[in-house]
Amino acid sequence: MAYPGYGGPQYGAPMPGMPAQGMPGMPGGHMGGPMPGQMGGQMGGAPHQGGYAAYGGGYQGSYGAPAPAAANDPMWAYFTAIAGQDGEVDAEELQRCLTQSGFTGSYSPFSLETCRVMIAMLDRDSTGKMGFNEFKDLFAALSGWKQNFVMFDRDRSGTVEPQEMGQAVYAMGFRVSPQALNVIIKRYNKGGRIYFDDYVACCVRLRALTDNFKRRDTMQQGAVSFQYDDFILCTMAI
């Protein structure tokens, strides 16, 4: 169901490594409604919109993007060097791995909290750690998100502005109200701008929460009736 006011093409989640469809032509301010920065949104006060549009989020279950050639890719070398005997990394090890690989480039390294959230997002076997395959999935998502961010960080400041954040979220296929966007921007901005690390943390959580919600919305109604324990389970996980 299209999100009212946000009709238009629901393009699917962009494949990591490839620009999202329609992005080059996407006009600024396409979001419709009041631009973020107007902090008038109230939680729970927004009228219930009829469902939601594309869940999007920047990646499918297993991306479909070609997996990097494991043996030759230096990324795997970093992973295996740090993962050790059990072949899994915890948050701190993941942080080291991503930092040493130079993935963040000129952006600041990922914070520990962001790494914890990354692990939580993909922790399918609930070990609290990330194995090789999970890491592959993560890396593909990160590449897509980074590419998206770089596109919006036009002045190469390592940050995006609130409007750009809104556009970036939209470009990844998430369809949320202006109020929700306000909440997101308020939550993740530092000094009015959003840094790459926080942007990634935001993407990870948005994606994981959307997945959790979607899995429970079997009738695709855009609404879920949660039992308390299950609500806590799926919201505290990420």
Partner 1 sequence: MDRSQQTSCSAASHSPASLGPTKPFSLETCRLMITMLDRDMSNSMGFTEFKELWQSVNGWKNTFASYDRDRSGTVEGHELQQAFSAMGYNLSPQAMSIIMNRYSVQGRIGFDDFMSCCIKLRALTDQFQRRDTTRTGRAEFHFDEFIQVTMNI
Minimum distance, C-beta of residue 141 to partner 1, in the bound complex (Å): 18
192 binds partner 1 (CB under 8 A): no
In angstroms, the CA 89 to CA 98 distance is 11
5 binds partner 1 (CB under 8 A): no
* Residues 96/102, Cβ–Cβ less than 8 Å: no
In angstroms, the CA 132 to CA 126 distance is 15
Candidate residues 37, 102, 128, 133; the one interacting with partner 1 per rule CB under 8 A: 128
* CB count in 10 Å sphere of residue 174: 24
Nearer to partner 1, 120 or 138 (CB): 120
231 binds partner 1 (CB under 8 A): yes
207 binds partner 1 (CB under 8 A): no
Using CB under 8 A, which residues numbered 11 to 70 contact partner 1? 39, 41, 43-44, 46, 48-49, 51-52
Nearer to partner 1, 15 or 89 (CB): 89
Nearer to partner 1, 40 or 105 (CB): 40
Beta bridge partners of 130: 89
Nearer to partner 1, 15 or 118 (CB): 118
Q: Which of 185, 187, 235 is nearest to 208 (CA)?
A: 235
* CB count in 10 Å sphere of residue 175: 21
In angstroms, the CA 124 to CA 76 distance is 20
